[in-house]
Chains A and B, each alone.
Chain A
């Protein structure tokens, strides 16, 4: 008899979801987490789209440990000391579709629910290797000891070192990994409401582009209940190419007047960082092996599409579908790759692979350097001059637009860029 029906590597959203469901089915589940507690190694920018978690837990969203529900989406384009923003507001409570979240807090709570269902979380324990016998994954190696199970779910996060060892993924390339630096800044609930014109539990998700010294990436700001999550994300390859440190760009961002006005007087509670797999559909590893499956960030389930960043809803859904596939395999008593491939069928029928497939070209837009330098400069200068009244008589609007635009970019390239965005986004 193995030590457990299922071993789950990593207490992130997908691992915890799988543990929650499998424990609910009455299965004996062990979750190994290398951190001090579930959530202690987990970081998000920001915000979770709520459609996936709603299907797992039958608790009103307001009672889950979310920070604020996003009622305002803002995209801000920085250039010099200038900035241009677009805002979308929605105060219809029925239509809240995302919430800001702090993962060390949320995941700890979520893991508790899974524990109440009977899942066994073993923290401060790193899985060093998979235990393989006769071409089957039959458990894991922790601290030189083997712990056995019928199935192992690899949900260890973006780095997926176990998957690399098993040959499920290739070596990563720095042109599809983004690194982030983030600070949580305490302002107090009332001050945030006042500063951002919000009522209690209403929140903002704001992303920034421009002013990154030519590096591909940008900034973000999310309002939590009493704190702000603020930070930057940049493509690894682009940082190295431009010889700029992400730590320095983080500082540039924090002290830009358009950002500084929000954090003034605040107190830093934590500085953090994380790696994000941004190639989407193009970087999904082999997802199933005899006795093993891969879910969440470890499976590369992440989508960046313009100002929309999704990883957590994919993590929850893939953890849930992995649990369903594992449950079926346990019932059949067959843990072969063929049986476990039911997971892939489920993924294909779910929003996980449908959305990732549909947006498989979105990373190409992200790699367009002009979005981070030329266009932010152009749009800010256009608007600046459009609003300028200083006694000089202006050209007709059409001439003005053409003159300004051609100063920054060849119109043919601009048209190509627009078409690409319309096609790929």
Chain B
């Protein structure tokens, strides 16, 4: 498509670079890979708008600092996955700060 040249494609990381965060030093997410290894769907990989969860060498890794706090992962993981994810809201004042919303 010729149109594509007119607009610079941004990667997810680049897009996310525009969002403001006040990242906590402590993660609000944890993953139990002993459960994930037996997870057939890996549901967490598909439902997160920032791909916080990713698969490497059959293990689930996560980047809690990119979390937009939708809460979608926990529902997907606990109902369609193998309940490996623990997720709660970050501590007060931490996490994403929307300036537009």
Question: Judging by beta carbons under 8 Å apart, are A41 and B98 in contact?
Answer: yes
Question: Judging by beta carbons under 8 Å apart, are B100 and A227 in contact?
Answer: yes
Interface flags for A239-278 (1: CB within 8 Å of B; 0: not) read: 1101111110011000101001101110011111111000
Chain B interface residues (CB < 8 Å from chain A): 1, 3-4, 6-7, 9-10, 12, 15-16, 18-20, 22, 41, 43, 45-51, 68-72, 75-76, 78-80, 88-93, 95-101
A172 to B87, CA, bound (A): 14
A123 to B51, CA, bound (A): 28
Chain A interface residues (CB < 8 Å from chain B): 34-36, 39-44, 81, 102-105, 107, 123-126, 142-143, 158-159, 161, 171-174, 177, 179-181, 183-184, 227, 236-237, 239-240, 242-247, 250-251, 255, 257, 260-261, 263-265, 268-275
Known A-B contacts A174-B76, A268-B10; A246 and B46 likewise in contact (beta carbons under 8 Å): yes
A137 to B51, CA, bound (A): 38
Question: Judging by beta carbons under 8 Å apart, are A36 and B15 in contact?
Answer: no
Chain A, Cβ-Cβ closest to B66? A271
Question: Judging by beta carbons under 8 Å apart, are A42 and B47 in contact?
Answer: no
Given contacts A102-B101, A180-B49, A255-B7, 8 further A-B contacts (CB under 8 A): A34-B92, A39-B101, A40-B96, A43-B101, A143-B92, A161-B89, A260-B6, A272-B100
Query: What total count of A-B pairs have CB within 8 Å?
Result: 165
A110 to B87, CA, bound (A): 30
Question: Judging by beta carbons under 8 Å apart, are A245 and B45 in contact?
Answer: yes
Residues of chain B within 8 A (CB-CB) of A36 are: 22, 93, 97
A244 to B46, CA, bound (A): 6
26 contacts between A and B (CB under 8 A): A36-B97, A41-B95, A81-B1, A102-B100, A143-B92, A173-B79, A174-B47, A177-B72, A179-B47, A179-B70, A227-B100, A237-B80, A240-B47, A242-B46, A245-B47, A246-B47, A247-B50, A247-B51, A251-B12, A255-B7, A268-B15, A270-B98, A271-B18, A271-B19, A273-B48, A273-B50
Question: Judging by beta carbons under 8 Å apart, are A103 and B101 in contact?
Answer: yes
Most B Cβ at <10 Å: residue of A102, A257, A272: A272
A324 to B44, CA, bound (A): 41
Known A-B contacts A34-B92, A124-B93, A181-B49; A272 and B76 likewise in contact (beta carbons under 8 Å): no
A227 to B48, CA, bound (A): 24
Residues of chain A within 8 A (CB-CB) of B88 are: 161
Known A-B contacts A257-B1, A268-B18; A245 and B70 likewise in contact (beta carbons under 8 Å): no
Question: Judging by beta carbons under 8 Å apart, are B101 and A44 in contact?
Answer: yes
A255 to B2, CA, bound (A): 12
Residues of chain A within 8 A (CB-CB) of B7 are: 255, 260, 263-265
Most B Cβ at <10 Å: residue of A44, A143, A239, A263: A239
Residues of chain B within 8 A (CB-CB) of A250 are: 49
Least Cβ distance of A232 to chain B in Å?
9
Report which of A104, A123, A159, A260 forms a contact with B93, defined as CB distance below 8 A: A123
